[in-house]
Amino acid sequence: MDKEKYIISQFKSKFIGDDGAVIGDLVYSKDIFIEDTHFKKGWLSLFEIGRKAIIINISDAIVMNAVPKYALLGLLIPKSMSLNDIKELKNGIKFACEKYGVEIIGGDTVSSKLLGVSVSIISYSKNPIFRNPKKGELLAFTGSLGGSLKGLRALQRGAKISKNSRFRDVKLRDKFFYKTAKFIKSAMDISDGLASDLPKFVGNKDIKFLKNLDKFEFLSGEEYEILFSFDKKDKFRVINEANKARVKLTIFGEVVNGRYKTKSRSWHF
């Protein structure tokens, strides 16, 4: 979103520009999840909305090699929601928080026409990992890309999608990532789609593609798979860790000199 780029450019801070802001051994990140932008009524259950709102925030912490610990929870609650509805939403939030050991320490609840969840996560990291891979490093992503966009297209056509669709139930790769972190040189999560996230990731470098990727792999956002880089010499160590963690790994490129440009546009619905 050009507006987001503009806003980021307006608040100059050495902390801005990664998945989280690192201050000492604390990492701060924030993501908003809101109706009509990230989902439409009926696409996700309230439980799924609560769970996804937390999971996509925890994703930011993981790719910084940080362990999420506390969260501030901002809720936008439509007047039409009953206490039972709120309970369902809360159950999803709690499920995700408990799964990842995150404690809600405060927040704000306001009534609003749109349902939304705004989360700030406080994490700890002794060795944070940033974006900006160096020349010569290999680029890879975890899992399979495309499922989120396929799920979204089905929902937009009015079709139903499986409960296991990535659009409804995001899977994070925390165990693989923390275990492999010693070999990982840079990382970010794929939230806007590879086509849109790659330039943010590599900055003013170019990529030599080692593999053809299809349209869905390039354009699908909200995947929350991990885009990362590592030294060539660690290639088999990284592959080995992925195999042990049963995480699919696609090594698709190498960082070279020059400036990466894409003609693809990021996906918004």
Q: Give the interface with a copy of itself as residue ranges (CB under 8 A).
A: 1-4, 6-8, 10-11, 13, 15-16, 18, 20-21, 23, 28-32, 34, 36-38, 70, 72-77, 81, 83, 86-87, 90, 94, 103-114, 116, 118, 120, 122, 268
CB of 104 to a copy of itself, least distance (A): 4
| Residue 48 in marked binding region | no
CB of 19 to a copy of itself, least distance (A): 9
Sign of CA dihedral 253, 226, 31, 33: positive
Q: Please enumerate in sequence order all residues whose Cβ is within 8 A of that of 66, keeping only pairs 6 or more positions apart, or say none.
A: 20, 27, 123, 124, 125, 128
CB-nearer residue toward a copy of itself: 114 or 256: 114
The 3 state secondary structure assigned to 139-171 is: EEEECCCCHHHHHHHHHHCCCCCCCCCCCCCCC
- How many alpha carbons fall within 13 Å on the CB side of residue 190? 32
d(CA 67, CA 172): 13
Q: Please enumerate in sequence order all residues whose Cβ is within 8 A of that of 171, keeping only pairs 6 or more positions apart, or say none.
A: 143, 224
CB of 167 to a copy of itself, least distance (A): 17
Q: Please enumerate in sequence order all residues whose Cβ is within 8 A of that of 35, keeping only pairs 6 or more positions apart, or say none.
A: 41, 114, 115, 116
CB of 128 to a copy of itself, least distance (A): 13
CB of 161 to a copy of itself, least distance (A): 22
CB-nearer residue toward a copy of itself: 13 or 257: 13
Residue list, annotated binding site for Mg(2+): 19, 29, 31, 60, 108, 189, 192
Binding-site residue positions for substrate: 38, 222
From the annotation, which residues make up the binding site?
19, 29, 31, 38, 60, 107-108, 131, 189, 191-192, 222
